[in-house]
């Protein structure tokens, strides 16, 4: 194999690898965007739950927590 043919083959191999890496990077980018959306949703839900929770140290009335069939 001539040096010119080897260089061309190496260049083709590098282009193929670069193409695969670009595709992988695009997939990872989409995953990160989806995960960030999920994180944002969980933060909003946690904030909402914290707002609903009673303040620490406040007295609870256990009668308010009885199931309806009692």
Cα 45-51-57 angle, rounded to 5 deg: 135
pTM of the full predicted structure? 0.64
Residues in the chain predicted with pLDDT less than 50, given as ranges, are none
Q: Which pLDDT belongs to residue 36? A: 98
Per the listing, tokens 């695009």 go with 26
Q: Which pLDDT belongs to residue 67? A: 73
Q: Which pLDDT belongs to residue 59? A: 66
Q: Which pLDDT belongs to residue 65? A: 72
Cα 63-48-68 angle, rounded to 5 deg: 25
Q: Which pLDDT belongs to residue 38? A: 98
Structure tokens at 40: 């944002």
Q: Which pLDDT belongs to residue 43? A: 98
């Amino acid at each position: 194999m001539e040096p010119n043919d080897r260089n061309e083959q190496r260049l083709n191999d590098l282009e193929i690898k670069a193409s695969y890496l670009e595709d992988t990077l695009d997939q990872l980018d989409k995953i990160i965007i989806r995960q960030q959306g999920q994180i944002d949703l969980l933060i909003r839900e946690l904030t909402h739950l914290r707002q609903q929770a009673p303040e620490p140290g406040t007295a609870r009335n256990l009668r308010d927590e009885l199931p309806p069939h009692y």
